[in-house]
């Protein structure tokens, strides 16, 4: 019986890690496109956004994040976006639910061919206390590294591992933020 429980915990851990890797928010970046002195401002602007799913037996979340970015140089881009997340937790009766929303400012610096540094500042309004219905706006500052694989002139698949320097343990289970995102 103990062996069966141990195997089930390993399977659950593997599935959870898989969900963390596949879920996340998507942000657009411009694949192999390199702005130069002949690029106009329309060439440097890009739109994108994302859709994320997360969860397990305890509950989960659905996230939407439209954004717009601007390529300042061939290595540096910055932009803004908005966040919306529907969150639920089945561990309590009645089930805890929340509509979380806010905005973000991001920057990305291409370091090497496919490796980049990434940081964003987010402010998110959420239920801070479910029993009193108290809402607060919290700050997040995920900073990390990413890997980009171009799949066209203006599209790529990107992977980010970031650490939230302003992590609030009452709002998020972990300071680590893992994202897989695409640009099209």
Mean pLDDT for all residues in the chain: 78
Residue in 139, 122, 133 with CA at minimum distance from that of residue 27: 122
What tokens were used for 78?
């910055």
User: Residue 9 pLDDT more than 60?
Assistant: no
Find the length of the chain: 184
Whether residue 165 contacts residue 144, with contact meaning beta carbons closer than 8 Å, is answered with no
Domain that holds residue 108: 2-183
Compute the average pLDDT of residues 75-80: 92
| Reported pTM | 0.71
**Which has more pLDDT, 79 or 33?**
79
Percent with pLDDT over 70 in the chain: 77
In this model, does residue 38 exceed pLDDT 80? no
Number of domains in the chain: 1
Q: What is the pLDDT of residue 25?
A: 35
Residue 183 is predicted with a pLDDT of: 64
């Amino acid at each position: 019986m103990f062996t069966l429980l141990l195997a089930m915990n390993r399977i659950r851990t593997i599935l959870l890690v898989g969900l963390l890797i596949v879920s996340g928010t998507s942000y657009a970046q411009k694949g192999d496109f390199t702005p130069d002195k002949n690029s106009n401002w329309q060439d440097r602007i890009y739109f994108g956004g994302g859709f994320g799913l997360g969860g397990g037996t305890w509950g989960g979340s659905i996230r939407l994040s439209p954004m717009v970015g601007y390529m300042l140089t061939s290595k540096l881009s910055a932009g803004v976006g908005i966040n919306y997340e529907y969150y639920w937790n089945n561990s309590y009766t009645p089930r805890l639910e929340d509509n979380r929303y806010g905005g973000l400012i991001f920057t990305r610096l291409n370091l090497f061919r496919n490796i980049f540094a990434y940081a964003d500042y987010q402010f998110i309004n959420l239920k801070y206390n479910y029993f009193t219905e108290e809402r607060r706006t919290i700050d997040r500052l995920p900073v990390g590294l990413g890997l980009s694989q171009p799949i066209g002139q203006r599209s790529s698949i990107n992977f980010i591992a970031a650490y939230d320097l302003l992590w609030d343990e009452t709002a998020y289970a972990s300071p680590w933020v893992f994202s897989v995102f695409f640009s099209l």
